[in-house]
Structure 1
Amino acid sequence: MSTYPLAGPAQARELPPLSPMLAMIGSLPPPETEGEFAYETLWNGARTLVHLPADGTVRLVSATGLDTTSQYPELRALAGLLPAPEAVLDGEIVVLDDQGRPSVERLQQRMSLHHPAAVDRARQDLPAWMVIYDVLYLGEPVIQLPYTARRDLLDDLGLPAHGVIVPAAWPSMADEAMENSRREGFDGIVAKRFTSPYLPGRRTRDWIKIKHLAPAG
């Protein structure tokens, strides 16, 4: 039974209050359990839940619960990606460097801006992108579904568009994913257990953040 009651068709549905699921920092799963995970690129952006009430609006909520919609006006275009049903998506806001890789420095510059005029100028020089990698709500709560089912829902949405990135998931291929992220200039990968439900606000080993070791010197 759904933990969030759904309103009738004549009523506006209130999207559930949710907080992001968190990853543990660790190392690659051993060979005997490697096949229990999918592997995604580590983006190191600003964790954000995207609320799409299917009324032509979008609301961006930070990991600490702050409404950051006004800081990223270019991401209001997300409202047109899913005309229906209501949805809550999980991801990260990133700002890319000249090579198309996420830049922490550029993101920090963008996050520091709040005045509308400064934000408007920055959207030209430091445009924000939305990396979306999970679905929490799609007409009804889906957090109880395993990662594989939620990932299928995400892929079926057909979201990739200008300003939106849906990262690839590498099933059961830890070494390949790690090497690909190194080659592409990312900091590492996140291992996500196939069977794991989405646990709002929880940090568990169902998600493991694995970073590349800094070179000695």
Structure 2
Amino acid sequence: MFAVIGPAPGLESEAEYAYETLWNGVRVIAHLPGNGSMRLLSQTGVDVTDQYPELKALPVLLPGPQAVLDGEIITLDGEGRPSVERLQQRMSLHHPQVIGHAVEDLLVQLMLYDILYLGEPTVQLPYTSRRDLLDDLALASPCISVPAAWPAPAEQALEQTRLEGYDGVVAKRLTSPYLPGRRTRDWIKIKHLVRNRPAT
């Protein structure tokens, strides 16, 4: 499921959405068959599991039923903000030995923000129910987390992410199902203007 780029919902409809940080990273779908293994598939369907060995803790955190999770891989800079440059360096590595060394200097994190399957399909559930399921899993480790979602008003989420140096927020309609492969206004990507970013 993909977001459209647009302005924040107006005052008359902003309470119909939750607001999540816009991560400037690599979108992946995590497949956990329930046998202790995992596959990370990129947006184009490429298996990138071996490129990010530090994320193989996910099946340990979720050893139960089969699951499919949606999220984004990011790399942080020295100030704790997502860094496209550092992530691109990590994405270019493929040799296991080189990747092993890079884990120390270019550590990645997996931000999980949706759940498509948990023992049975969940895509038909509304966003609020899927978030409840995801939050109840309590997935947390140094490299794996479920980021918070803000309720309305949208301005609070926009101001907080601007101050923290993120690119913006994604507004997600509370009643929306998960629509695989579709781009819809149920998810709205709201980007900060460059001139509004804090000075570095």
Mapping of 1:148-187 within 5 angstroms? 148-187=128-167
Mapping of 1:30-179 within 5 angstroms? 30-179=10-159
Q: Determine the C-alpha separation between the residues in 2 that align with 1:198 and 1:44.
A: 21
Query: Match for 2:13: what amino acid?
Result: T
Q: Determine the C-alpha separation between the residues in 1 that align with 2:144 and 2:99.
A: 19
Q: CA deviation at 1:165?
A: 2.1
1:213 aligned to 188, 193, 199, which one?
193
Gaps of 5+ in 1: 1-20
Q: CA deviation at 1:167?
A: 1.1
Q: Which has the larger radius of gyration?
A: 1
Q: CA deviation at 1:173?
A: 2.1
Between Structure 1 and Structure 2, the one with more helix by share is 2
Q: 1:197 and 2:180 equivalent?
A: no
RMSD, aligned α-carbons: 0.9
Q: Determine the C-alpha separation between the residues in 2 that align with 1:29 and 1:212.
A: 14
Q: Determine the C-alpha separation between the residues in 2 that align with 1:149 and 1:169.
A: 13
Q: Determine the C-alpha separation between the residues in 2 that align with 1:160 and 1:134.
A: 15
TM-score when scaled to structure 1?
0.89
The number of aligned residues is 196
* Structure 1 consecutive aligned stretches of length 4 or more whose deviation exceeds 2 Å: none
Query: Match for 1:129: what amino acid?
Result: Q
Q: Determine the C-alpha separation between the residues in 2 that align with 1:100 and 1:57.
A: 30
Segment of structure 1 superposing worse, 95-104 or 134-143: 95-104
Q: Determine the C-alpha separation between the residues in 2 that align with 1:165 and 1:177.
A: 19
TM-score when scaled to structure 2?
0.96
Segment of structure 1 superposing worse, 188-197 or 114-123: 114-123
Q: Determine the C-alpha separation between the residues in 1 that align with 2:79 and 2:39.
A: 29
Query: Match for 1:185: what amino acid?
Result: G
